[in-house]
Amino acid sequence: MSSQSGPPAILKGWVDRVIRQGTMYRFEPDGVVPYLKGKRALVITTSNTPREDELRVFGDPLENLWKTCIFGFVGVENFQRRNFESIILSTVEQRRGWLEEVRQLVRERFPAA
């Protein structure tokens, strides 16, 4: 994947070390057995490409990567992703609003016990 359509290399390395066989899934003769069925995931991403341009040029590769290739593979079906863009054109006020939105998403998705 190009840097425009994939996560940074350091994050890719983290995923490779954490989402591992025996930790998040295992292989059996009939296929993959995921370990995270019934779990939830919230992924926050950022980009500089305006949304319309990204969809036209790339589709939404990060949605597919996180929802299907990573969390879907390990059994997570309750998945949500929020992308914030365009970071490079955003104002301080927008970024403050985005941070508050992230706080709210976390509170809603993972309420305190």
Domains in the chain (CATH in brackets) are 9-109 (3.40.50.360)
What would the pLDDT profile of 6-50 be if each residue is shown by its tens digit?
788 999 999 999 999 999 999 999 999 999 999 999 999 998 888
Quote the DSSP letter at residue 6. S
pLDDT in the model for residue 80: 96
pTM: 0.82
**DSSP labels for 42-78?**
EEEEEESS-HHHHHHHH--HHHHIIIIIIIITTT--E
Please tell me the distance from the alpha carbon of residue 65 to that of residue 48, in angstroms, as a whole number: 18
Q: What was the pLDDT predicted at 95?
A: 96
- Indicate whether 5 pLDDT > 80: no
pLDDT tens digits, one per residue of 76-113? 999 999 999 989 999 999 999 999 999 999 999 999 85
| Distance, CA of 44 to chain centre | 6
Q: Which amino acid would we find at residue 83? A: N
- What distance in Å separates the CA atoms of residue 68 and residue 74, rounded to the nearest whole number? 9
